[in-house]
A and B are shown apart, each in its own frame.
Chain A
Amino acid sequence: MSPSEAAPVLRHQADGFALSAVGVSAGYGGGRRSRDVLHDIDLSVPAGQTLGIVGESGSGKSTLARALVGQLRPSAGKILLGDVEISALRGRRLRENRRRIQLIPQDPYASLDPRMTIRRALYEAIDPQGRRPAQAAARISELLATVSLDPDVASRYPHEFSGGQRQRIAIARALAVQPEVIIADEVTSALDSSVQAEVLNLLRSIQARTAITMLFITHDLSVANYMCDEVAVLYLGRLVEKGSSRLLFSPDHPYTRRLVDSIPNPRAGLSGLSAPEITGGEGADPANPPAGCAFHPRCPNGPRLRDDRERCITERPELLPRWDDTGDGDHRSAACHFPLSEVRAGLGD
């Protein structure tokens, strides 16, 4: 461990990553009773790109978001934000660096202080110390225009807005801080589908304009496909597969396959849905995942159905590169002893 201590930081910077997690584990509860729900996460977001984090509830998506923004101190590993190891900072230094990474929470009804006007909320984000009122007013109008809201709405309170409008305000607020990285945690799951498209397009256009780095957490693979350059799949607190978002169309890990096949596909109807689970595997305890490959009790290719796959119960598969980027941006790692595709899939599209 010790010789490689400095290595991740160097690689992270040299490769132009805006945000990296290196061997991050995190959990809840203090002292001896603490339980990790996130184990040994390695991931990097290239500057200016969008990484999607997908997985079911209980997979640790939100815990990862909390750890990355510094709300939850990792129990192991480090989080690198640009050139700073943010997970090692405390107090004032942490507060200064925190502004470089901002979170847009899931619930637009809970993310705005009900007793603050939009102007005050944005003003606070622009300058938490409250020093430069003159510039701020113009900036607030500009921010509201960015998210297609009338500057006049600044004097209103959050309850006067619809869910979609609130989510746009939450985006404006995150942008007001001028962060390098935005973490969007299920930002559209509380919205109607017609409003969802609006918010997704807004985030896409902001990224196209400002080249901000984004981490997009979602349970909806079609949304991940629409938004993300790269995708990382979490299952019970571990990454099971990551790579360019093309992996959604030829997954290597049976869990990713299962997620993809669960998406209702109108063209295929019911026959397009995967066969029902072989067990009631859902509901496994994230703080106490099954031994070996955590997915093995649910795996359709796994030891429950095939005798030659004892290895999945006894040995945890490492997240290993399947192939590297050869110039077309396509790369892939998977944590499976028996990946679904043995050779690189030829993708027509």
Chain B
Amino acid sequence: MTTSKRRKPFALWLGAALLLALSVLAVVAPIIWGDSAAALSSEVRGGPSAEHLLGTDPLGRDVLDRTLVAARLTLAMAAVTTLIAVGGGIVLGATIVVAGRRVRGLGERLIDLMIAYPPIIVALSITAIFRPSVGSVVVAIGLAFVPQFARLTNTLASSVSSKDYVVVARLVGLRPTRLLFRHVIPNLAGPLLVLTSVGFASAIITLSGLSFIGLGVQEPSYDWGRLLAQALQDLGVNPIEAFGPGIAILITGLAAGLLGDGLNQFLDPRGPVRRRRRRRAATSGGADARTPHAALLAPAPDAVVSVRDLTIAASPESVGAPLVRGVSLDVRAGEILGIVGESGSGKSLTAMAIARLLAPGLHWSAETLSINGADVSDAREQTPVRLATDVGVVFQDPSSCFNPARHVGPQITEVARVHQGLSKRAANELAIERLREARVSSPEVRMRQYPHELSGGMRQRAMIAMALLTSPSLLIADEPTTALDVTVQADVLQLLHRISTTRNMAIVLISHDIKVVSTLCHRVCVMYAGRIVEELTVEDLREGRVCHPYTRALLDAAPRLEPSARQVPLIPLPGRPPQPDQPIVGCAFADRCPLVTDRCRQEDPALRALPRGGVAACHVSTGPLEDLLVTQ
């Protein structure tokens, strides 16, 4: 059992300790150093000395003592200011959220209007109207910051109240006020805490600023701002004088920031959780699990892509099993290879490694990774330019792959212009040709449109056109139809098929949907927990001649559109795939497998040709599994 334990955030403790120390200082400093801070001496504008560590001011008073004593007034003023700003802001913002539609609209406009005035101007105006004093300056700055907090509360609350869990809670019959206090406010707490701490820090700075220009604290009282103002006049003569109040403001701001940040992390149940890792030795698979796979495949000199023993890990010394373990595959020209598996099976990582688009921080190695015969397996090498033109990639979500602020055209032509040095005109002509090939209607118009003006299916076709621009020999399509409607999916699958035949192109199709894979592909690799567990022709897959219990389970779990399907219950796969931080001992599927034996729990099966036909990584299976329930 993996236990999780809350990590105490370091920031929280440091921030809390600093603020506590500052508060204690604020209480005791005037008592201890009150007199000495007011004592005049003959040493005027003195530099640091044993007696006056931070020098003295124009009247010969000790700057260190005065800085310490000023903590009380400064911190008290900042606290009250923050209280006014945050309290007023939350009340105002939340009231507007729960109010009716008309009040809400009006209130939001009003806040927008108030926010248009910089807080410092508002504070200046208010203090200028009233007599400058500690009280008026605190109220003025507090009020000046209210609109910002109101706006933030309002924005955050509106976004939280449209969340599904608030909708569901409303359906349960919760009253609006209860809804606000139970679901909305707690989920605002984090950002609001951070903002409060930032607000506290900026309150100190603004207060000091006002004192600095003479509108805040008046003589004989003094805060850090006042001390700073004094120091500035002497800056040419005695620079050290500014050091004390300056550093005090800095430390206080830092402490407030740390505390807010730390509290936010601490209060969030999703916060940094440290998984106690299993201490068991990570005996992965054993050598037998890796080697024979490549040997099993007929050596394919005509392969466009050849991968042998690809391994991807989060870090070289990671505790768990690698994310991808010893994957080998070949794709020939004109062939569509499907890689199917659940989320976390490593199918996308494998494809991205082939395209050399793995996220930085992932470590990979391969015995062979060649594209068009050129070995690109040196992980340290920068992506060769050739690769950008040899491999085209189509991603799952076409809407996030185009820059929304640029026209579609220049984004499509970029590859050709950068890597092939085509002129703008030639690149445009090429792009229009490719768009037409991808069945994008009126391509000339589309080139000058923004991505949002295209429908989802159209964007995906445009992305396919972009991937084809440089006539790559390999196209990697990573869940290209998952975000699309079924009708559009059918069109895109047909398009991919046509591209592979007319261009004799190798395609790797990644999908979680075994039905999609078996409709389009020629050959299919089934991945589970980072390994290929079965490799088969699409004919075998369509006829259900599958050998690995996992593939069988995938087929049995997928609903079919057949009249009798309602009467035959689906067979769900029990359990969950191994988590990435768990080391895998034996066959990764053992815990969920109906055919499991003792051997499966000790030894990871190698991918091998089975006696009754088929290629699968299974100790038990001897050939096609008709039906797991019958076999048992």
Contact = CB atoms under 8 A, between A and B. Distances in A.
Contact of B164 (A95, A110, A124): A110
Contacts of A258: 487
B247 to A, nearest CB: 38
B487 A262 contact: yes
Interface stretch (A187-195, A301-309, A334-342): A187-195
A288 interface: no
Interface stretch (A1-9, A12-20, A136-144, A155-163): A155-163
How extensive is the interface on chain A, given as a class? 35 or more
Given A113-B165, A264-B493, A248 B561 contact: yes
Interface stretch (B34-42, B60-68, B168-176, B369-377): B168-176
A320 interface: no
B343 A192 contact: yes
B602 interface: no
A48 B169 CA distance: 24
Contacts of A34: none
B513 A264 contact: yes
Interface string B487-502: 1111101110100000
B455 A283 contact: yes
A179 to B, nearest CB: 9
A263 interface: yes
Contact of B269 (A30, A159, A260, A264): A159
A259 B487 contact: yes
Interface stretch (A39-47, A270-278, A310-318): A270-278
A25 interface: no
A128 B165 CA distance: 14
A194 B168 contact: no
Contacts of A272: 519
Contacts of B515: 263-266
Interface residues of B, number: 73
Contacts of B566: 225-226, 245
Given A157-B270, A280-B441, A280-B457, A221 B571 contact: no
Contact of A197 (B441, B495, B573): B573
A222 B166 CA distance: 31
A56 B455 CA distance: 13
**Pairs A-B, 6 closest by C-beta atoms:** A283-B455, A349-B563, A198-B572, A194-B573, A266-B518, A197-B557
Interface of A: 30, 56-57, 69-71, 95-96, 98-99, 101-103, 105-107, 110-116, 124-125, 128, 157, 159-160, 162, 164, 170, 173, 177, 192-198, 200-201, 204, 219-223, 225-226, 245-246, 248-249, 258-267, 269-270, 272-274, 276-277, 279-280, 282-283, 347, 349
Given A56-B487, A71-B167, A193-B557, 8 more contacts: A56-B485, A105-B164, A110-B164, A159-B269, A197-B571, A266-B519, A282-B488, A347-B563
20 contacts: A57-B456, A101-B171, A103-B167, A105-B164, A113-B166, A115-B186, A124-B169, A124-B182, A193-B557, A197-B570, A197-B571, A225-B562, A259-B486, A264-B493, A264-B513, A264-B515, A280-B457, A280-B458, A283-B454, A283-B456
